[in-house]
Amino acid sequence: MQQPECASPFWAKVQRIVGRIGFGAKGVVYGLVGGMTVASGSKLNDKDYEESPKGAFVLIGDAPSGSGALFILLLALWCYSIWRFWECFTYRGRDATFSATKNFFRFRLSPFVSGCVYIAYSYYIITMLLNNYENKEPSCYPNCWRDSVLGRTMLVIMGIAFLIACITQLQNAFTGKWHSEIDWHRANKKWEKWLLLTLGHIGYLGRAGIFVFVATLEFKALKHPVQQSGDQFADGLSQLLGSTSGRIAMIFTGLCTLIFGVFCLLCVIYRQFPTPPPSGKPYVGKK
């Protein structure tokens, strides 16, 4: 797969380093979220950690030398955001065979939103490092949003946004959309290719599951108050605990999410940085 041209070999190397560090952090976060989701669904989460990135940060912070580990994770998450913003503003990956709209959503909007999400994650780590997290009152979201027209409108928008995110992850799970991002020259052994393909497709199912359950929570909140902790990911998954079938779905989602974390860790080695155009034909023209 042909790599898109970069401004210089030096900055291409910097982007590869930053992207790989960021993907390592992403793998750790999703691996922990998946593990805690499985533990909650199996009723093994005796310390009641939330099944979300925030819960993962609390788990790390509670470990010996947790503050140091959180600080390292904070820097790594910043690397991920920097890489995503970098790709957004340079329009990295833009494909000559794609329409302008498809290029915009996939290679401009998507990395920008992703970068913002991981900046938000880093905010939780900073509050924990400053010992402000436990002193904060839990958010009244989403129930308090039901009390106004603007709030209910935002619940609808958030629900639709998470459904779109779910559909995007399902595309990754059932198509080869992400295959062009892997450096298959590195994965030159048959077992490496099958490992990446298997973990990737299963892993994206886990992300799709999380997003659809959060979307369901948003729409439920329009009709009646829902269980809330201020953490939409944890609340979206916790609504499954009321039945055996729900717990099975929760365990399945957690296992797939854990697998996605492992896949992200493998991407540190096997993914291409910067992101290449899927067809191998970079767009040439004004940015």
What is residue 95's predicted lDDT score, i.e. its pLDDT? 92
Q: Are 30 and 264 in contact (CB under 8 A)?
A: yes
What is residue 85's predicted lDDT score, i.e. its pLDDT? 95
H helices within 105-243, ranges in order? 110-129, 149-174, 190-223, 232-238
Task: Give the tens place of pLDDT for each residue, 155-176.
Answer: 899 899 999 999 999 999 999 9
Q: Report domain extents, the chain.
A: 9-270
What is residue 5's predicted lDDT score, i.e. its pLDDT? 46
What is residue 130's predicted lDDT score, i.e. its pLDDT? 86
Taking 50 as the pLDDT cut, the residues of the chain under it are 1-5, 287
Task: Give the tens place of pLDDT for each residue, 93-102.
Answer: 999 999 999 9
What is residue 194's predicted lDDT score, i.e. its pLDDT? 96
Q: What angle do CA 234, 238, 242 make, to 5 degrees?
A: 175
Whether this prediction's pTM lies above 0.85 is answered by yes
What is residue 287's predicted lDDT score, i.e. its pLDDT? 45
- Report the number of secondary-structure helices (H) and strands (E) in the chain: 9, 0
Helix, strand, coil share of the chain (percent; to 5): 70, 0, 30
Residue 269 makes CB contacts below 8 A (sequence gap 6+) with 186
Euclidean distance between CA atoms 181 and 279, whole angstroms: 11
What is residue 1's predicted lDDT score, i.e. its pLDDT? 40
Euclidean distance between CA atoms 287 and 284, whole angstroms: 9
